[in-house]
Amino acid sequence: MKKKKAEPKPFAVADVSRKPQQGRSLASLKRMLEAARDLMLERGNEEFTLQEVSERGQVSIGSIYLRFESKDNLVRGVIAESLEALAEEESALVQRLNEGCSDLTSFMFEYVEGYAEVLRKHAPLLRLTMERAEYDPQVAMPGKQHALRAETEATQAMLAHTDEFGGDGPDDHKVKAQSGYHVIFATLARQLSLGSSGEAVHAYDWNQMKRELARMCVAYLRAD
């Protein structure tokens, strides 16, 4: 009988690097990650060498291998760090809007505005993350879990305004909120070239697109 293949575990930087033992080592790890991230962003790919990371980060090749078993793990470390930062910003946005928006319209307009700008800020590394996720299960799984967490936070925030929803009760409201989130993410992702083609479909005015997207979502959520 065939053994079931173990699912790859979600990771953080600590999961793909050896843990630094002291402050100086932590600073060295930070420089490695920053140097690798900057090279990835400048080139739009992973075509950099550990020698370049060594020179830019002012760390020795030996210290890089002391922290990371391979260049792949260093790239995964950069991606893990970027997903952690993205998750923190998404959660902070939703929390702020939960506390400050008293109705569905204000929430949707501010959510689309804020989420669009968070995604735009992180788009360059998200593109590289999505490219790697196509062949690297150690990136694909945490990437999917991140997407699910973002969806759950957004839909729960929308569902706080179900008194303004149309539809046939809680189950329908949940489907509407989830669908609304997917429309928002898919539209923004396409405009930010996060799809497999790497190109936006249309060169829409960014601010107009955000406004119209929020209007469409409010109308959809309110519709019977």
Distance CA 181, CA 186 (A): 8
**pLDDT for position 1:** 44
Distance CA 185, CA 90 (A): 12
Kindly write down the DSSP assignment for every residue of 130-196, as one continuous string. HHHHTT-HHHHHHHHHHHHHHHHHHHHHHHTTGGG--SSSHHHHHHHHHHHHHHHHHHHHHHTT-ST
> Given a cut of 60, is residue 5 above it in pLDDT?
no
Domains delineated in the chain: 13-71 (1.10.10.60), 81-222 (1.10.357.10)
**pLDDT for position 21:** 52
User: What confidence category does residue 198 fall into, taking pLDDT thresholds of 50, 70 and 90?
Assistant: very low
Question: What spatial distance separates the first Cα and last Cα of the chain, rounded to whole Å?
Answer: 52
pTM above 0.95, yes or no: no
Mean pLDDT, the chain, integer: 89
- pLDDT, one tens digit per residue, over 146-187 is 999 999 999 999 999 999 999 889 999 999 999 999 999 999
- pLDDT, one tens digit per residue, over 29-83 is 999 999 999 999 999 999 999 999 999 999 999 999 989 999 999 999 999 999 9
